[in-house]
Homo-oligomer: A and B are copies of this chain.
Amino acid sequence: MGASKTDHFSILHNQMASIAKALGHPARIAIVEFLAKTDACICTDIVDILPLSQPTVSQHLKELKSAGIIQGTVEGNAICYCLNQEVLSMLKEFIGKLANVKNCC
């Protein structure tokens, strides 16, 4: 095996999992935090702050994009990436529900 049995789970569960999975790498956490903290959202800036090669960063950006967490708009020569609030709000709401439960043990 090696592939998840996605067919057996609900759309919501698969969606939440894919969003969480996309955030499941320190480089991608660093990217979204950078996008949240700075106004600059040019790809080069992201490559500059990460200890990874340009192709690797490009790959991480692609994963965040395909999970819907970020979006990129062409700006002349460069590409401006920014956070997608809609998707992040969904995750926030889901985590919020988990984080308000009293422990039973």
Contact = CB atoms under 8 A, between A and B. Distances in A.
B85 A104 contact: no
B99 A85 contact: yes
A17 B24 contact: yes
A98 B104 contact: no
B105 A99 contact: no
Interface in A1-33: 4-6, 8-10, 13-14, 16-18, 20-30, 32-33
Contacts of A47: none
B98 A82 contact: no
Q: How many copies does the complex hold?
A: 2
Contacts of A96: 92
B21 A6 contact: no
Given A9-B30, A24-B24, 18 more contacts: A4-B26, A4-B27, A6-B26, A9-B51, A17-B26, A20-B24, A21-B21, A39-B104, A41-B104, A73-B105, A80-B104, A80-B105, A83-B98, A85-B103, A88-B99, A89-B99, A91-B95, A95-B95
